[in-house]
Structure 1
Amino acid sequence: MATEWDCFETDLGAKAWMPSVRFRWMAGSTRFTGLLVRLICLIFIEGLCVESLLTRAHADEPASSATDDSVPDSKAESSTTQASPSPVIEVLGKEASTAQHAFYETDRSIPLEARTVERIAQDETIREKVVFRGVQGFLVPGYLQYATDVLKPRPCVLLLHGWSGSKEHFWKDGGYISGGNIRTALLAAGYAVMALDAQCHGDRIAENDFAPVNHFVDPEIEGIQRKGYFTQQEIYIQTTRDYRRAIDYLETRVEIDANKIGVFGYSMGGAQTFLLTGVEPRVKVSVACATPADNSKFSSIAPQNFAAEIGQRPFLMLMGRTDTMCPVEKAQALLDLIPAAHKQLMFYEAGHRLPVDYVPQAVKWITTHLP
């Protein structure tokens, strides 16, 4: 059977090819296989039941379903684009979606074995490089930074980078995602921040034999090509589970108020913001930027299959109006799947790379809903 391929632009501007749907689970994992079989059976029993979204029109209705006067004005605009009369996004039935969520479970009996391997004091902050044990045994590196002039435990925002990026992107001002700008603004507002390297990214490139994470099969090149050891699905799922473990770790830190955890994600990190918020009740507020659309209704990493589980937690989407990775109508569809009263979708006149103007919008959302 022929394989369909998607071409997308990474956060560094390079083009990469990836199969639309690829499932390659860890060999020998009977529990994982059982979950997959259960999911397939549920889908079959439901008669491949798919709930169609957005058949209703959005006549004169802005993309934000709730007005929040505390969110600052910006160059971004709420969408007023009409919804397509045909389904824009298709969503799994509830039982099948719930079965998928089981892939994201973690075993808290596995020791974290966390340790600080570097500690740097600078500009009235402390940045620690922390390493802990992930659920599959891989060591997970990350940075935890917080101000030294705050005596009580402070809220913490998890920072999720994009495909081909790393945690280092949040320690660089400007750049593709303006990561340093968002980190600095959050620290100035009294928050701690923590960023991990996604699986096979940054310091974890050894997990892929030091090959670039974008080294997937290109259908335009003939002959055998080296594939990565991990599929897109595996990287998304494992990274989301790692962030759940990171919250376990934050619960052990006296500097952090683990009852006040927020999430900020860009591109791949934006998609993972949907996944993490959907499966992790300890997340209290979320901001997803430049979230790529997933056109596979049966995908285990499709943001739309996790939106309902966001519940009433405040959720902000910041998108580029001309971003080919997520057209306007699909962004609107994602927003409508979120049941929260406090949700908002804002568009910038940009593509996948948002202007730095998005930073104060994101920070204001977090300070408003995670004081």
Structure 2
Amino acid sequence: MLQALYGPAVPGLRAEFGLSPSGAGLGLSLHFAGGVAGVLAFNAIHSRISNRALLAASYGLMALGGAGFALAPDWPLALVAAFLGGLGFGGIDYGVNQLFAVGFGDRSTAMLNVLNAHFGIGAVLGPAVVAWLGPDAYAYAFGACAVLAAVLAPLGSSGVRTRPVEPSEKQRQPGSPGGGLPRVLVGFLALYILNVGVEAGVGGWEPTHLETVGYSATVAASATSVYWLMMTAGRFLVVPVTLKYSPERILTICAAGMTVCLLLARVKGVAPVAYAGVGLFIAPVFPTGLPWLNRALPQARRAGAWVIAASMIGGVAAPPLLGAGIEASGIHAVPWLLTALSAASLAATVWLIQLTRRFNE
């Protein structure tokens, strides 16, 4: 919810601080920068602090960041607060995903999809709250997030094991001498960057593409909302599937489905439905890939932090890179550019399946 507030708050921020559109967008950029730093920092110290301390510190930083952003008297202080909130967001994103990935055993894939569906619920609620309050009242929305995070700081880790789970003897073994571990990790990094690139690309450029091909602004905005809702629904719907099929098979079907839907998005009459289909197929990728990563690389207990950080970097880098491609090729190229990313994701998935099988034989 905190992350999703920055975009809808832009009109209020511009009026409050006299910002340009790009200047107002720095709030979200600093939040994501803090997120990447938070993932890597908490990963680095996780072995020296308890799980409960990790979660409490993350919620505390989110509370400070949300309150600071709501009360900041000038824009530089607001950006500092956004970075602080991002640090806490990164800690929660890393900490909770990592705990779910290792803490539920064979049910980890299902539970990670449930967890990330709730991330999606927050992303839908954030803009709805700002729409209800009005952009000029954005401070109240950030303040509410700060209060919720402050309440969770002492209470949100109840039932969590105090110390990190110690690796088994198998997990202590070094990687194979043939360099398989780095190649597998690079493969997962590429998979996550490409998938988040598609996710952010559709979310950022779908409305512009739909308006360009003839849909009204209202239909285009509604279709984009449906895309995000389908991402949330898809994570709930895939839960029973994860109990029967392997993550590798699920991710292969997801990548193929995304690619087909993006090809269909070229057809005006079905484009909104095709984009909704992309949301449905891309929904399980992030949470389903983490258990596969932990199983494929038991020697690298913190590999999850790197792919979570990579996913955030993909979310920051993909929209401007796609924008450059669109400037060169025109807005009608949006489905083609996104199809290329999705096809590369499918290729990375197939390559990873072959690589992890050889690496773990």
Higher relative contact order at CA 8 Å, sep ≥6: structure 1 or structure 2?
A: 2
The TM-score by the shorter chain falls in which range?
under 0.3
The structure where helix makes up a greater share of residues is 2
Q: TM-score, normalised by structure 2?
A: 0.27
Q: TM-score, normalised by structure 1?
A: 0.26
